[in-house]
């Protein structure tokens, strides 16, 4: 699976869940695959998608809050995993698209080829943390996770980005992204 296939697979089965996307390719792929008012696209603040998502999850206790994260983003803010584990927000679902690289800046390697991020989530107190490597596993896990209480983390192993980055940028302004997302929560 590449990032595009993984993001398409996950976004296709979303209903009214709120989604906070990490910066770079992950936001761009999500925007292109299925732009929704329930999506918050981070364009800067690398590492903070899980913290923003946590803030939403703690304040909005009805709907599920899903964070679309990258391995580079997660590694920049591992402390956030400990907070999620400690606070136990039931409505928090963390999806990490792990290509073992910083794809957005040219595929420089991260260390997630050697460090199992789902195990960090487990020992940080996530109720459930699992790794999937193919589309079938991704669909199966996603449909279960959307129905169950968290905090949970799904590590989605994806292939490296090949060639030039050919995916469009998010066309909404930051303020529009925020206003839409807030109107979806209301």
Ligand X SMILES: Cc1ncc(C[n+]2csc(CCOP(=O)(O)OP(=O)(O)O)c2C)c(N)n1
What is the SS3 assignment for 94? strand
Residue 53 interacting with other proteins (CB under 8 A): yes
Interactions with ligand X, residue window 23-52 (CB under 6 A): 23-26, 46
Closest CA to 14 of 81, 95, 72: 95
Rounded to the nearest whole angstrom, what is the least distance from the CB of residue 19 to other proteins in the complex? 12
- Packed helices 135-147 and 3-12: angle between N→C axes, nearest 10 degrees: 30
User: Which residue's CB is nearer to other proteins, number 1 or number 52?
Assistant: 52
CA dist 125 and 82 (Å) reads 7
Helices vs strands, H then E, count in the chain: 8, 8
Residue 26 binds which entry of ligand X, other proteins, none, CB below 5-8 Å type-dependent: ligand X
For ligand X, the binding residue among 40, 68, 92, 102 (CB under 6 A) is 102
Rounded to the nearest whole angstrom, what is the least distance from the CB of residue 16 to ligand X in the complex? 25
Residue 22 binds which entry of other proteins, ligand X, none, CB below 5-8 Å type-dependent: ligand X
CA dist 102 and 113 (Å) reads 12
Residue 87 binds which entry of other proteins, ligand X, none, CB below 5-8 Å type-dependent: other proteins
Residue 113 interacting with ligand X (CB under 6 A): no
Residue 100 DSSP label: S
CA dist 38 and 41 (Å) reads 10
Residue 20 interacting with other proteins (CB under 8 A): yes
Q: Which residues bind ligand X (CB under 6 A)?
A: 22-26, 46, 70-73, 99, 101-105, 110
């Amino acid at each position: 699976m590449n990032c595009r296939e993984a993001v398409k697979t996950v976004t296709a089965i979303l209903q009214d869940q709120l989604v906070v996307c990490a910066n770079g390719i992950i936001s761009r792929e999500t925007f292109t695959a299925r732009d929704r008012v329930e999506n918050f696209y981070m364009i800067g603040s690398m590492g903070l998608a899980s913290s923003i998502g946590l803030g939403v999850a703690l304040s909005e206790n009805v709907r599920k809050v899903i964070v679309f994260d990258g391995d580079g983003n997660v590694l920049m803010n591992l402390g956030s995993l400990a907070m999620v584990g400690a606070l136990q927000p039931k409505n928090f679902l963390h999806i990490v698209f792990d290509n073992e690289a910083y794809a957005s800046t040219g595929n420089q390697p991260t260390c997630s080829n050697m460090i199992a991020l789902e195990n960090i989530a487990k020992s940080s107190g996530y109720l459930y943390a699992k790794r999937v490597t193919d589309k079938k596993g991704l669909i199966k896990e996603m449909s279960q996770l959307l129905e169950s209480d968290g905090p949970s983390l799904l590590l989605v192993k994806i292939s490296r980005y090949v060639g030039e980055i050919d995916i469009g940028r998010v066309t909404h302004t930051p303020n529009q992204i925020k206003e839409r997302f807030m109107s979806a929560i209301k």
